[in-house]
Amino acid sequence: MTLRAGFIGLGAMGLPMAANLAKAGFPVTATDVDPAARARAAAVPGIAIGDTPAALARNCDVVFTCLPSVESVEAVYLGAGGLAAAARPGLVTAECSTIDSAMARALAARMQEGGAGHIETLLVGRPPESQAAQLYFVVSGARDLAERISPLLAAMGRAWRHVGPNGAANTIKLLQNGLGYVYAVATAEALALGRVAGVDVGAMIDVIQNGGGIGWSKFFDLHAKGMAAGRDEGWGRLYIAAKDTAALLQEAQRSGLPLPLIEETCRTFAAASAAGLAKAEFTAVARVLEARAGRTLFAETAEEMPVRGGTA
């Protein structure tokens, strides 16, 4: 039997995922709170536009949710006309958004109260990977549910890995993202210190990238030059990083472990968001260092730029 797929959240990641399901021949019904997003989806062959999340739950076998914030996840699952209101045996909900593990387990329990199955299908990849059906899925929840929806995952990605019970995928994804965001703050600090010390920052980047030392990372390869130049190169938005680091801090606090790097990373991204950088690329977190230092540090010709004031 061909699975009927629902999709809620038609942004830069969600719309290509829904389009790939339709391209693979699955009946797809999708929706989004944004009328423009619904209009874009309606133009994709094979995608029908639905009404409320509850309506999708009643008419689809599997409903994926790919949402930008904790508040939007709560609204789609628990709000009026939400998925929980239409939970039923045979329905599987698959949450792609990065949230903290306690919330993931609570959503699973709420859907199970109505007889539905719930699974987490966390995404590793960017919009280009979503468009090319090359996402990697980190999956948690009942293994039989993962197997049941695996044809849908195969239509949207290159591979998937089951990592444990509900909540496990969220913890692993937060840890992966958290490492990247720690790298972001550490890279910004290294570049700032190099610039203030008067070294050739371009030469410094070249040495780290090509010298074979332990300072190299994939993050540094992808982002150091753009960060040093203060460029927005179209990677993820800072408000997503602020959300993820806040969720990671919750995980850290529940653990009882003293984790000062995670705490400082969360504070720095929160400061960047509060400073009006929420919609900037996440590497704009470097601007917090500028505010703290009272001078421009991240630009192609930073030494020629005017001194900035303010604190963060």
Asked whether residue 46 is domain-assigned, the answer is yes
Measure the CA–CA gap between 299 and 27, rounded to whole angstroms.
48
Confidence (pLDDT) at 301: 64
Q: Does a structural domain hold residue 310?
A: no
Residue 46, Cα to own-chain centre: how many angstroms? 26
- Rounded to the nearest 10 degrees, how much is the dihedral formed by the CA atoms of 276, 280, 286, 290? -40
Residues above pLDDT 90, as percent of the chain: 94
Query: Do residues 211 and 277 share a domain?
Result: yes
Give the pLDDT confidence of 261-282 residue by residue, as tens digits. 999 999 999 999 999 999 999 9
Q: Is residue 219 part of a domain?
A: yes
Mean of pLDDT values over 247-266:
94
Q: Looking at residue 230, which CATH number applies to its domain?
A: 1.10.1040.10
Q: Specify the amino acid at residue 222.
A: L
Is there a domain that residue 69 lies in? Answer: yes
Is the residue at 132 inside a domain?
yes
Question: Residues 154, 184: one domain?
Answer: no
What confidence tens digit (pLDDT) does each residue in 163-218 have? 999 999 999 999 999 999 999 999 999 999 999 999 999 999 999 999 999 999 99
pTM (predicted TM-score): 0.89
Distance CA 71, CA 78 (A): 10
Distance CA 231, CA 227 (A): 6
Among the candidates 144, 164, 184, a domain finishes at 164
Angle formed at CA 100 by CA 119 and CA 159, multiple of 5 degrees? 45
Helix axes 218-229, 168-197, angle to 10 degrees: 50
Give yes or no: residues 175 and 275 share one domain. yes
**Closest Cα partner for 194 from 185, 205, 183?**
205
User: At 304, is the pLDDT very low, low, confident or very high (cuts 50, 70, 90)?
Assistant: very low
Catalytic site includes residue 243 = no
**Residue closest to 70 by CA, chosen among 242, 292, 196:** 242
Q: Does the pLDDT of residue 312 top 80, yes or no? A: no
Contact 22, 45 (CB under 8 A): yes
Give the residue from 164, 186, 206 where a domain finishes. Answer: 164
Whether residue 122 is contained in a domain is answered as yes
Which entry of 173, 218, 225, 279 is annotated as an active-site residue? 173
Last residue of a domain, one of 148, 164, 180: 164
If asked whether residues 90 and 190 sit together in one domain, one would say: no
- The whole domain housing 115 covers 5-164
**CB burial readout 227-256, b (16+ within 10 A) else e:** bbbbbeeeebbbbbbbbbbbbbbbbbeeee
Instruction: Provide the pLDDT for residue 302.
Output: 55
Domain count, the chain: 2
Do both 74 and 188 map to the same domain? no
Name every residue whose Cβ is closer than 8 Å to that of residue 302 and which is 6 or more positions away in sequence: 195, 230, 296
- Are 229 and 154 in a shared domain? no
